[in-house]
Amino acid sequence: FKSIALCFSGGGYRAAGFALGSLSFFEKVGLLHNIKAISSVSGGTITGVKYTQSLIEDQSFSEFFEEYHQWLKEDQLVNNAINHIKGYSVWNQTENKHKHKNPINAFAIEYNKLTNHKTLADFENAETHLNRVSFNATDFTNAIQFRFQNKDKPQRFFGNKLISEDYRNLKDNIKLGDIIAASSAFPGGFEPIAFPSDFMPNSNLKDIGLMDGGIVDNQGASVFLTSSEDTNPYSLFVVNDVSSPYIKDNETFEFAETTKFSKIVSFLANPIVLALMLILVIYSNLKNWWWLYSISLIIFSLQVTINIMLFYVSASVSKMTNLSNTFKINPQRLGKYILNRLRSLMVMSGVVMLKNDRRQNASKLYKSYN
């Protein structure tokens, strides 16, 4: 236990809280200062960076724990970020003028407040028990992991091997809060954060789009797989992962025919039901049954919208595949096809790929340091 390496997985606030609990455990058993390396992803990076900032400022663990736990408990991050998105004044502040006015930078502004605008250079100059930190994002320009890491010995690449030295020379000016934003910018919820223009002003380098580190490694364990057993400086690896490598019953793929949502869509797309609803709209209007007319009109409008969307999809597929004469499918059946594909994509990207990645990283760790 003389040299411990920690991995903090992704998983939002749940991962952040779990990582905090892990640090608290090591502090209680007297092994906190034996932690020599931290690698983190997404939600785990919030805790990893915040703890690093506390070491820079020479805070006691109890001070760090109380401050950070209170911040998590108050849960004002999203509200504050939304206010930044709606507002103007914060973007005119000197430290934010270079940033794109978008959601990911609104969160970055809050993360910089959380970490007191500390930088990687501040960590390099501080005397701490950590020899190595690696806060991980995904490089959307080169399709590879991007590591915000300190120098350490032996020298390791900042970023990745595919970026030029000009980018690495900017390392000391990078704020810890911007690192959190890059590591936790999950697809769908955020756009990529631009490195370096969103991190610092007056940079003439071409931007690299950075997003959530969990896209390529949701545990952060791959950082420690580059060393051989002979050069491994750590006597213990602890991977803090808030998710199981096994698929739960509620995460398995369900065919559209078995779900309530698809049955409702199928019912509304039925041409007979559409015709009956139109008759009901006309009849209730003639009878001045306004409450029934209003409800039936809303349902009819929804039916028309669904059918138009399905017709448009059918026409688009016909055009793309040159099957305009043969690709004519019943809207109900087409709707099921679409739902099955959307559901399978969600399960693949959110469950299958991530859980397979977890199993592979765990196997590689055991194999590398057996």
115 and 175 Cβ atoms separated by less than 8 Å: yes
Q: Which residue has the higher pLDDT, 84 or 343?
A: 84
At residue 146, the 3 state secondary structure works out as: strand
Residues 162-179 have pLDDT tens digits of: 999 999 999 999 999 999
Reply yes or no: is the peptide bond before residue 233 cis, omega within 30 of 0.
no
Judged by phi (left if over 0) then psi (alpha if -120 to 50, else beta), residue 327 lies in: beta
CB atoms within 10 A of CB 38: 27
Structure confidence at residue 350 (pLDDT): 62
| Percentage of residues of the chain with pLDDT beyond 70 | 81
Q: Which residue has the higher pLDDT, 241 or 340?
A: 241
For residue 208, the cross-strand partners are 195
Judged by phi (left if over 0) then psi (alpha if -120 to 50, else beta), residue 145 lies in: beta
Confidence category of residue 349, pLDDT binned at 50, 70, 90: low
Distance CA 291, CA 87 (A): 41
Q: Mean pLDDT for the chain?
A: 86
pTM here? 0.78
Structure confidence at residue 166 (pLDDT): 93
Confidence category of residue 91, pLDDT binned at 50, 70, 90: very high
The residue type of 99 is K
| Residue ranges of domains in the chain | 4-243, 256-349
Residue 357 has pLDDT above 80, yes or no: no
- Let me know if 97 is exposed, middle or buried by CB neighbors in 10 A (0-12, 13-18, 19+): exposed
Confidence category of residue 344, pLDDT binned at 50, 70, 90: low
Distance CA 85, CA 107 (A): 9
Reply yes or no: is the peptide bond before residue 154 cis, omega within 30 of 0.
yes
Residue 138 has pLDDT above 90, yes or no: yes
Q: CA of 346: how far to CAs of 213, 251, 354, in Å? A: 18, 10, 11
For the chain, how many residues are written?
370
With helix as H, strand as E and coil as C, how does 263-277 read? HHHHHHHCHHHHHHH
- Let me know if 186 is exposed, middle or buried by CB neighbors in 10 A (0-12, 13-18, 19+): middle
